[in-house]
Structure 1
């Protein structure tokens, strides 16, 4: 027997989709990248001594870093793994959301400055065009005056 053409209604489920209260809006990929950048900066800031120790050991070495600086690298990695928690990621996300208004205000100020400069350029262009038009009219009037002098003088000779 063939399946029915109209599917039978499914029973309604009473469970609601989980809502993420810490992240009220879905972020775009570029916004997620900004959050990750903040997150990594926060993690690195917690492990500054270990990172500095590894960097000091690695300075001036190339391939030999792998075996000469192994203890410092393990200490640095373990510190970063311990600092890279979900709570730290949530804190970075909250910090990003807190800065939204500030970034929006900065972007609006930049746009206002661009618009102001655009209006200045338009005004300068209009003044230059007006100046060129007046010079052209003056030049045309002088040429017309010279033409009338030539033609006026030829009638009397």
Structure 2
């Protein structure tokens, strides 16, 4: 008769503290919108590294359509090679880390905006109450 395999205990406290490095690649599942924000940061960072090559290609391509393919070939190849060079996993990890670093700021900004909306809502309600009270006093007075 086969015996069921024994379950090994989970990680020990010593092993858990030894690997306390945050997993930047996938610390927690992100929604599709959050992943899109990370990708936007990533692309912005890559374009930032290659800004000069992109500018040179754009200047060459101004006023051209199909002919830009062969006339601006050197600039295009330079731009593409720069972007391929900088489009690395490390750059993507840096973009993800930047997104997580700004997470608290975005949360605080949303809270501040919600608080401002709530304050404005309370002001409007107070104005409405004052107007109703003034109308009530005006109706109560004999003409």
Structure 1, unaligned runs of 5 or more: 1-9, 143-157
Q: Would you say 1:73 and 2:76 are equivalent positions?
A: yes
- Of 21, 27, 39, the residue aligned with 2:23 is 21
Structure 2, unaligned runs of 5 or more: 11-21
How far apart are residue 120 of structure 1 and its match? Answer: 0.4
Q: Would you say 1:61 and 2:93 are equivalent positions?
A: no
Q: Distance in 2 between matches of 1:74 and 1:35?
A: 26
Larger Rg: 1
- SS of residue paired to 2:29: coil
Aligned to 2:37: 34
- SS of residue paired to 2:77: helix
- SS of residue paired to 1:89: helix
Q: Distance in 2 between matches of 1:12 and 1:25?
A: 30
TM-score (norm 1): 0.74
**Superposition map of 1:58-137 within 5 A:** 58-137=61-140
Give 4+ residue runs of structure 1 displaced > 3 Å after superposition.
Answer: 10-14
**Superposition map of 1:45-56 within 5 A:** 45-56=48-59
How far apart are residue 12 of structure 1 and its match? Answer: 8.4
Q: Across the two proteins, how many residue pairs are aligned to each other?
A: 127
